[in-house]
Amino acid sequence: MSLFNNKQSHGVHPPGNKITANKKIERAPLPKKVILPLSQHIGAPSKAIVKKGDEVKVGQKIAEAGGFVSAPIHSTVSGKVSKIIEMISSVTSNVGNAIVIDADGKDDWVKLNKPSKIDKLSKKEILDQIKDAGIVGLGGATFPTHVKLQPPPDKKIDTIIINGCECEPYITSDHRLMLEYGEGILKGLEIMMNVLSCNKAYIGIESNKPDAIENMKKIVSESNNSNEIIVESLPAQYPMGAEKTLLKKILGLEVPIGGLPMDVGVVVQNVGTLKAIYDAIYEGIPLIERVVTVSGAVKEPKNVISRFGTPASEIIDYCGGSASNADVMIFGGPMMGIAQTSFETPTTKGTNSILIKKNTKEIENNCIRCGTCVENCPMNLMPLMYVAYVKKSMYDDLKDYWIDNCVECGSCAYGCPANIPLVQYIKVGKAELKKRGDN
């Protein structure tokens, strides 16, 4: 069965609202305190190696990886561990531990492990450095990067695709990275190509970012890998940044149902992840911050570099505060983002955007079988069936409609005349199936 059974993959064209596309990256003030959840990535939560009362410095490892598919966490400020608390995850809603650090305002760093001769590093040394730096995929999935760069021996990788599409409305953090840190992104890609012994790479960028396309083409043309790296202009369509959509558009490849890009010899990474790899290998800097787009109902929308664990309210205040009638804060964009319960929720490694808006309550009606969700689905699935089965608690039947292949992009809900929150139903269905599998 093909996930792309017609010549044109589906998708939607929501308003871009890229109002921060021309806003240069600024550095947000240091937070007064940080709250660092031990689960900021796919896989096993990290394990705390500090306790209440410990003095810590910026870049100091405060939690070690909890397994192979896991990543360590580093202090993002200097100060004192005030407590270790339980909190609800801003992504999964599961309860887990978090380390709270009161900042001293000094921003004292640990001595960085900066390699002296990059070209002399072995692949194992590079992978160890990436793992020790706590790098995870910064495109949203937060899969530990060192794991992704170690595919099974039977999965030969011959192509790398770099995701610079940033098709989600409002978000421009990756766009600005490609304009302001393009050299670091390229060096991160060269490291990745070396680790995977791969000599072919594509940097996919949507056509509505011509300045980023031009800049990355210029940087690549001036490098020693101009024949191996191609900057590809892609149609501006949501969700162009989805892994399987990228493979189809750039290489004409289809990922097997239930499979991963590595099953067809491809690894996909985000431009922000490459910048983090560059920082770790060339500068010895662990992953403690990222660029966050702050947009929507704020007085001064911006792209800011912010330390992980910063309460969102502090970042919003730096952007002039929110509109008086704003009552919703989303981490991410309007299509795939997750609404938060408090403006004090701390940012994590996966937070690429803070979107502020006024809640608009819409009444859910019955499905009228118009087929809009089917027409919009980029994976050629039937989202209306997921809703029907979840409402009837017929969870096992969801597998017959390939629910695991849903990427939860929200294209199905976009334009639904019945205002059905399809993605929420799909999340419930997947969670119930996982619960049955775990049992």
Q: Does any domain span residue 328?
A: yes
Same-domain status, 104 and 135? no
Are 186 and 219 within one domain?
yes
Q: Enumerate the β-bridge partners of residue 205.
A: 233
* 24 part of a folded domain: no
* R_g over Cα of the chain: 21
pLDDT of amino acid 438:
66
Cα separation of 71 and 247, whole Å?
27
Strand partners of residue 160: 201, 267
pLDDT tens track for 299-324 = 999 999 999 999 999 999 999 999 88
Which whole number is the average pLDDT over 194-208? 96
Answer with the one of 223, 257, 283 that is the final residue of a domain.
283
Q: Which residue matches tokens 């959509």?
A: 245
User: Nearest Cα to 346, choosing from 21, 17, 87, 167?
Assistant: 87
If pLDDT is split at 50, 70 and 90, which confidence band does 359 have?
confident
CA distance 355 to 295: 5
Contact 157, 262 (CB under 8 A): yes
Residue 329 bridge partners (DSSP): 356
Does 21 map to a domain?
no
Please tell me the pTM assigned to this model: 0.94
Rounded (10°) angle between helices 383-391 and 422-438 = 60
Same domain, 302 and 329: yes
Q: Of 311, 327, 357, which residue sits at a domain end?
A: 357
- Least confident span in 13-27, 94-108, 113-127, 370-384: 113-127
pLDDT in tens, 257-277: 888 999 999 999 999 999 999
Query: Using CA atoms, how far apart are residues 150 and 21, in angstroms rounded to an integer?
Result: 35
Q: Give pLDDT, residue 256.
A: 87
The answer to whether residues 165 and 53 belong to one domain is no
152 assigned to some structural domain = yes
The verdict on residue 12 lying in a domain is no
Tokens at 325, concatenated: 């009638």
- Asked whether the predicted pLDDT for residue 6 surpasses 80, the reply is no
Check pLDDT > 90 for residue 97: yes
Q: Are residues 129 and 235 in the same domain?
A: yes
Query: Domain check: are 271 and 143 in the same one?
Result: yes
- Helix then strand count (H, E) for the chain reads 11, 17
Residue 23 lies in a domain: no
Q: What is the mean pLDDT of the segment spanning 178-201?
A: 97
Across residues 327-355, what is the average pLDDT?
Answer: 95
Looking at residue 361, what is its pLDDT? 80
CATH number at residue 122: 3.40.50.11540
Confidence check: pLDDT of 434 > 60: yes
Phi-psi region of 155 (alpha: psi -120 to 50; beta: other; left: phi over 0): beta
Q: Are 276 and 424 in a shared domain? A: no
Question: Which pLDDT does position 75 carry in this prediction?
Answer: 98
User: Does 352 share its domain with 397?
Assistant: no
Q: Kindly state whether residue 300 falls inside one of the protein's structural domains.
A: yes
Is residue 246 domain-resident? Answer: yes
* Tokens at 439, concatenated: 């049992």
Residue-range definition of the domain harbouring residue 143: 118-283
Q: What average pLDDT does the segment 392-399 reach?
A: 95
- Closest of 295, 277, 379 to residue 337, by C-alpha: 295
Q: Percent of the chain beyond pLDDT 90?
A: 87
Q: Are residues 137 and 226 in the same domain?
A: yes
Verify that 351 and 312 share a domain, yes or no: yes
Residue pair 209/203 in contact by the 8 Å Cβ criterion: no
Task: Evaluate if residue 4 carries a pLDDT over 70.
Answer: no
Residues 139 and 273 occupy one common structural domain: yes
Token pair for residue 147?
A: 């794991």
Number of domains in the chain: 3
Q: Is 187 helix (H, G, I), strand (E, B) or coil?
A: helix
Question: To 10 degrees, what angle do helices 173-180 and 210-221 make?
Answer: 40
Percentage of the chain modeled with pLDDT above 70? 97
Tokens of 119: 């070209």
pLDDT of the residue at 159: 97
The DSSP symbol for 263 reads G
Alpha helices in 301-421 (DSSP H): 312-318, 372-376, 383-391
Query: Mean pLDDT over residues 74-95, rounded?
Result: 92
Nearest Cα to Cα of residue 84 among 59, 54, 105: 54
Give the mean pLDDT of 159-178: 98
Shared-domain flag, residues 126 and 210: yes
Domain end call among 283, 318, 344: 283
CA–CA gap between residue 244 and residue 256 (Å, rounded): 10
CB atoms inside a 10 Å sphere around CB 423 = 20
